[in-house]
Amino acid sequence: MHLGFTQLGPLANRQKLLAISPHLDDVALGCADLVAAHPSAVVVTVVAGRPGPHELTDWDRQCGFGPDDDVMGARREEDAAAVRVLGASPVWLEFLDRQYAHDWASPRPDEVASALRPLAGEASLVASPLGMLHPDHVAVGQACYAVARAIPDVRWVVYEDAIYRATDGASGEATARLISAGFTLKELAIPPAERKREAIACYTSQVKGLGGLLEDAYRPERYWELGR
pTM, to two decimals: 0.90
Segments making up each domain of the chain, as ranges:
4-227
Per-residue DSSP letters for 160-212? Answer: --TTGGGSTTHHHHHHHHHHHTT-EEEEE--PPPTTHHHHHHT-HHHHHHHGG
Helix (H, G, I), strand (E, B) or coil at 96: coil
CATH number of 4-227: 3.40.50.10320
Q: How far apart are CA 158 and CA 58, in angstroms?
A: 31
Percent of the chain surpassing pLDDT 90: 74
pLDDT tens digits, one per residue of 118-151: 999 999 999 999 999 999 999 999 999 999 999 9
Instruction: Give tens-digit pLDDT for 19-36.
Output: 999 999 999 999 999 999
- DSSP 3-state helix, strand, coil percentages of the chain (rounded to 5)? 45, 15, 40
Please give the pLDDT value at position 47. Answer: 94
